[in-house]
Chains A and B, each alone.
Chain A
Amino acid sequence: MKHFDVIIIGAGVTGAAIARQLSRYSIKTAIIEKETDVSFGTSKANSGIIHAGFHSPPGMLKTELCIKGNRSFDILKEELGFSFERRGELVVAFNDEELQILKNLYAQGIKNRVHYLELIGTARLREMEPNLSEDIIGALYAPTAGIVEPYEYCFSLIENARQNGVAMFVNEKVAVIAKQLFGNFVIETDSGLKVSARFIVNAAGLHADEIASLAGITSFAITPRKGEEYLLDRRVGNLVTRIIFPVPTKDSKGMLVIPTVEGTVMVGPTAENINEKDNFSTTREGLRCVFENAKKMIPGIRLHDVITSFSGLRPVATGDDFIIGTTSVQGFINAAGIQSPGLTASPAIAQHVEDILVKEGLSLKVKSSWNPKRTPFIKLRHSIATRDYAGYIKNTAGNPGYNKLVCRCENITEAEVTEAVSRGHTTLDGIKFATRAGMGRCQGSFCTYRVLKLLEQQTGIPIEKITKKGGGSEIIKFPMGKGAPHE
């Protein structure tokens, strides 16, 4: 049985940030994930906003970690090479009552020590965002807010962690947690993998309550809160430059209009408490609701620009705050209930968990070999955006894969797909999130077969066995002439 100093359960953004944080020390760390790829839970289905930190009151853990997390992103971007842009957030008000809410949010933000917050009037607002509704009478502006592609950020954390020696197990669902006589945990997965560890960090997102209860901890429960989001064609990508919020409600920050770093626009999310942790459906009602709200702020938004939709489940814990810390079981540490702004907070959560581990007796020494840099992908679409074609020719010389187009909508090349496979992505969705092949307006009609072929060539998995997102989600079921369905 392999032994680790720390085992992290769950490879969402929380687990990934912790893994990367611990990867700099000369300890043995592993991360275990039940899905086929990392970031396949809530961390791939969210708004991608690096929040400024005025939405929640001072004193809450999520507020403190949001503010700290936000400030880490410039360095992380530098080191890991994911796309991150500080576009700024605008909360808009339609009447005096809402203006008053903005003033309260402003005061709260100042207490939280959010930098550069401003209340702004309509003249400036129009200049900043010409497509905003005429009915808006003022806004709260937080220039420190940013946007990322959440899975790209998560993948980059994991890749860098693995580069620095963190062990990774995918397709392994933790089923049993036992504590041995001498204090070590033994973790067993449903496929029979057994590993032991001195510390467990529970970063299992929606299932963190179940993981805790495997260790005998029943102090909290996780309730899913569903959010539906709708993605619009890049044709309307210039509708907004900043993230546009309505005034918040009790349960959520409201339904937003969000520019993405990839030049598209997203609208959503809804916020609905549900019972099932595996209900990712989108609904007619959700669509109606999101568009009604978005149109109120940006009248130019049109339903027929939707190219796809998804929903994510926020893991809301009893008490509505993050649950991070030691438990009644020594060595078992929670990083649970990481609802919004969990993406923003993730770097600070990682630091916080490190501090707890040290307090609990783990000694950490920085490895001399630690390399904080991850090599980013060479992206054709970036050269097209800047028309830097000479640069592209220079950077890709010697690899003909960069001259073969796989995805026509997002301009993804064969070399990018090959690179994604070599970084561990073996499902269609994994390739999609790692490269954007299939994420554009045709939604994979053109590239799916090309990606399947490349996956087959590189992994040896026959096409009919390649899945969208793991077991049971095969894309094309039957090779012709080999039996089915005539049999």
Chain B
Amino acid sequence: MNNNINVAIIGGGPAGLAAACTLYEQGICDVHIFEREHVLGGVLFQCIHNGFGIHHFKEELTGPEYAERYIQKVNKTDTFVHTDTAVIDLYRENEALTLVLLGSKEGLQVFTARAVILAMGCRERNRGNINIPGSRPAGIMTAGFAQRMVNLEGYLPGKEIIILGSGDIGLIMARRLSLEGVNVQGVVEIQPFPGGLTRNIVQCLNDFHIPLYLSHTISNIFGKQRIDSVEITAIDNQLEPDTKNRFTLPCDTLLLSVGLVPENELSVKAGVILDEATRGPVVDANCMTTVPGIFACGNVLHVHDIVDYVSEEAARAARTAAQFVNKSLTDKDGIRMLAGNLVRYMLPTKVYTGKPTIVSLRPITPVEDIVLYAKRNGEIVYKKKYQKILPSSMIQFELPALSGIEPVEVFFAGEET
């Protein structure tokens, strides 16, 4: 087999699948998807709830249904699909992008590619990352792990559950486990506002009478072999624990839904520079990373809450990757994008003259009645009013085509009069 390929897509989740479809539409051949799991679809396979595809397919699908649509589309292309194949190393050798693969059928193989699309998704933050003090018994796990156990493998983690963090996965699991007869004692959130989408707070907690403890955190874990209780402490507005205001709840399981981190270990090996705020690669308007020929999309780039946007972003990345292999990607000297007031992160960091660009961002905190501005030399180039902005909801807008090289600042502010 020829080990010099055209485009390598690392990861066969929604991002990788959409990228493959677009590359095919663009007439690119010799495209390979590498997926370490036995099946394509990524994290969607364990998301058996509905709510996927509302933007893209204009109907409410479950995660597996959404994935299935794309898998069928990919199956109609001439993409080479390698499942049970993990990419274990990625580096540049004499300008060539080199991938090392470990496949259960083919064994260890070394490939080179003209372009690489990173679509590795993200992983969940765990107990160590947030430093919860206490003992270290069994029964503490991430919500996504529990989701996989319940939805795919057929095991319930326990009977008395507490969830730390109000991210979407935790909320979905609160409902899922309640439906299985598990007693979900509550969801504990350190911030004064929920981490997940509003619709999930309503449908997964309120409808099941599960208490949400905002401005609280888990300050201690008890239990020798299996967890038997946790100590919950209120947090003041400096995010410091209020030691007079604490209580203990019994439980046999603690689920952590405390955020996702883009999985960029491979990217770093290849020399890709990461953004401190997104923990994903720094990219330009072409979704190209700081290493020429390496593109990124989906949760590996920044954590998305809606899969439809993942698919769209992947299509954009694939379109420019196609131009790259066709040697028609000629953009130089872009316009810098600066994140301003109330913007937690924003990408891309660079746009190009004469092309409209989709910009993605998240606000730092929830605010009501606010305006999003993109300004250049004091002149407004884009503006939109929001009734409410939330850190849990990503904002996307299309920045119109610009000329010149002066940077653009994007920020939130009150209505200018």
Q: Which chain A residues have a beta carbon within 8 Å of chain B's beta carbons?
A: 231, 235, 278, 280-284, 286-287, 303-304, 306-310, 380, 384, 387, 389, 392-393, 396, 400, 403-405, 408-409, 411, 413, 441-446, 448-449, 463-464, 467-481, 484-486
Residues in A whose Cβ lies below 8 Å from that of B139: 475
Residues from chain A with a CB closer than 8 A to the CB of B159 are 477-478, 484-485
Task: Flag if A282 contacts B134 (CB, 8 Å).
Answer: yes
Whether B86 sits at the interface, judged by CB under 8 Å, is yes
From A284, A307, A380, residue with most partner B Cβ within 10 Å = A284
Please give, as numbers and ranges, the residues of chain B lying within 8 Å of A469 by CB-CB distance: 138, 225
Q: Are A445 and B144 in contact (CB under 8 A)?
A: yes
Task: Indicate if the CB atoms of B226 and A472 lie closer than 8 Å.
Answer: yes
B158 partner, pick from A284, A306, A477, beta carbons under 8 A = A477
6 A-B contact pairs sorted by A residue (CB < 8 Å): A278-B224, A306-B129, A400-B107, A449-B148, A472-B225, A475-B138
Interface residues of chain B: helix, strand, loop or mixed (majority): mixed
> B129 → chain A, closest Cβ, in Å?
7
Contact A480 B86 (CB under 8 A): no
The answer to whether B155 has its CB under 8 Å from any CB of chain A is: yes
Whether the pair B135, A442 counts as a contact (CB closer than 8 A) is no
Residue of A nearest to B106 (CB): A403
Asked if A443 contacts B86 (CB within 8 A), the reply is: no
Please report the C-alpha to C-alpha distance between residue A380 and residue B153 in the assembled complex, in whole angstroms.
28
Closest to A467 in B: B138
Q: Is A477 a contact partner of B157 (Cβ separation < 8 A)? A: yes
Interface size on B, residues (CB 8 A): 56
Flag if A445 contacts B123 (CB, 8 Å): yes
Within 8 A of A (CB), among B372-386: none
Q: Write out the residue numbers on chain B whose beta carbons fall within 8 Å of the beta carbon of A443.
A: 126-128
- Closest chain-B Cβ to A399's Cβ sits at a distance in Å of 10
Complex contact B100–A287 (CB within 8 A):
no
Shortest CB-to-CB span from A44 to chain B, Å, is: 12
Q: Which 4 residue pairs spanning A and B have beta carbons closest together?
A: A472-B225, A308-B128, A468-B138, A473-B138
What residue in chain A is nearest B177 (Cβ atoms)?
Answer: A485
CB of B405 within 8 Å of the partner chain: no
B247 at the interface (CB under 8 A from A): no
How far is the CB of B399 from the nearest CB of chain A, in Å? Answer: 31
What distance in Å separates the Cβ of A45 from its nearest Cβ neighbour in chain B?
A: 10
Tell yes or no: B68 within 8 A of A by CB.
no
Are A231 and B102 within 8 A (Cβ)?
Answer: no
A442 & B156 in contact (Cβ 8 Å cutoff): no
CB-CB under 8 A for A479 and B133, given A308-B128, A389-B100, A403-B103: no
* Residues of chain B lying within 8 A (CB to CB) of residue A446: 123
Do the beta carbons of A476 and B131 come within 8 Å of each other?
no
Across-interface contacts of A464 in B (CB, < 8 A):
155
Instruction: Note all chain A residues with C-beta closer than 8 A to B225.
Output: 467-473
Q: Which residue of B lies closest to A232 (CB)?
A: B128
> Judging by beta carbons under 8 Å apart, are B156 and A480 in contact?
yes
Q: Given A464-B155, A468-B138: A477 and B131 within 8 A (CB)? A: no
For residue B251, give the distance in angstroms from its CB to the closest CB of chain A. Answer: 12
Asked if B89 and A282 sit within 8 Å, CB to CB, the answer is: no
B181 CB–A CB distance under 8 Å: yes
A292 to chain B, nearest CB (A): 14
B248 at the A/B interface (Cβ < 8 Å)?
Answer: no
**Which B residues from 78 to 118 make CB contacts under 8 A with A?**
84, 86, 88-89, 91, 100, 102-108, 110
Given A411-B88, A474-B226, CB of A307 within 8 Å of CB of B129: yes
CB of B149 within 8 A of chain A?
yes
Check B86–A408 contact: CB distance below 8 A. yes
Within 198-232 of B, Cβ neighbours of A (below 8 Å) are at 219-221, 224-226
A480 touches B154 (CB 8 A): yes
What's the minimum C-beta distance from A123 to chain B, rounded to whole angstroms?
32
Which A residues are CB-close (under 8 A) to B89?
384, 387
Let me know if B155 and A478 touch, CB within 8 A: yes
| Per-residue contact bits, chain B 141-180, to A (CB 8 Å; 1 contact, 0 not) | 1101100111001111111000000000000000000001
Q: Provide the bound-state CA to CA distance between A481 and B153, in Å.
A: 12
Judge whether A473 and B226 touch: CB under 8 Å: yes
Known: A282-B133, A472-B225. A442 touches B124 (CB 8 A): yes
Residues of chain B within 8 A (CB-CB) of A467 are 138, 225
Residues of A within 8 A of B133 (CB): 281-284, 286-287
Query: B128 and A306: CB pair below 8 A?
Result: yes
With A287-B131, A303-B131 in contact, is A476–B157 under 8 Å at CB? yes
CB pair B226 A480 closer than 8 Å: no
Contact present for B145 and A448 (CB under 8 Å)? yes
For A307, the chain B residues whose CB sits under 8 A away are 126, 128-129
